Amino acid sequence: MSNLFAGVPSSPPDEHLDVILETPAFRLERIVSRGHASPPGFWYDQDGDEWVVLVSGRATLRFEDEPKPRTLVPGDHLLIAAHRRHRVDWAAANEPTIWLALHVKAPPGGRPAAP
């Protein structure tokens, strides 16, 4: 048995990523942020869909196609469609922000089904 809160780094210099489970169809990650943000001008643009849930902390996500960022608190989750450009604008600095990210791998030559 494992625990999502075990081994959380106290102040990682960058976002800390642990792969919890990986299959040919998906990858489940635990991401720990503490005061991190995407570099200026950087946008994630992924080949597969990604479902994220905020487990602890607070963060702000920005989507290139939306005028305002979204503030996330524990329990908030959303599906980010493949190639929907997004970035982390802000993560709480005074506590760990822990995410679970489920990446659905795109099949060869096609778009993945949403989880």
Tens digits of per-residue pLDDT, 36-68? 999 999 999 999 999 999 999 999 999 999 999
8 in a structural domain: no
Of 66, 60, 9, 7, nearest to 38 by C-alpha is: 60
20 in a structural domain: yes
36 in a structural domain: yes
CATH of the domain at 43: 2.60.120.10
What is the residue-level pLDDT of the chain in tens, covering all 115 positions? 789 889 888 777 788 999 999 999 999 999 999 999 999 999 999 999 999 999 999 999 999 999 999 999 999 999 999 999 999 999 999 999 999 999 998 776 665 555 5
Number of domains in the chain: 1
Q: What is the DSSP letter of 82?
A: T
Q: What is the DSSP letter of 4?
A: T
Q: Which domain holds residue 47?
A: 16-104
42 in a structural domain: yes
- Please say whether the beta carbons of 99 and 33 come within 8 A: yes
- Please say whether the beta carbons of 19 and 35 come within 8 A: no
Of 95, 10, 1, 4, nearest to 53 by C-alpha is: 4
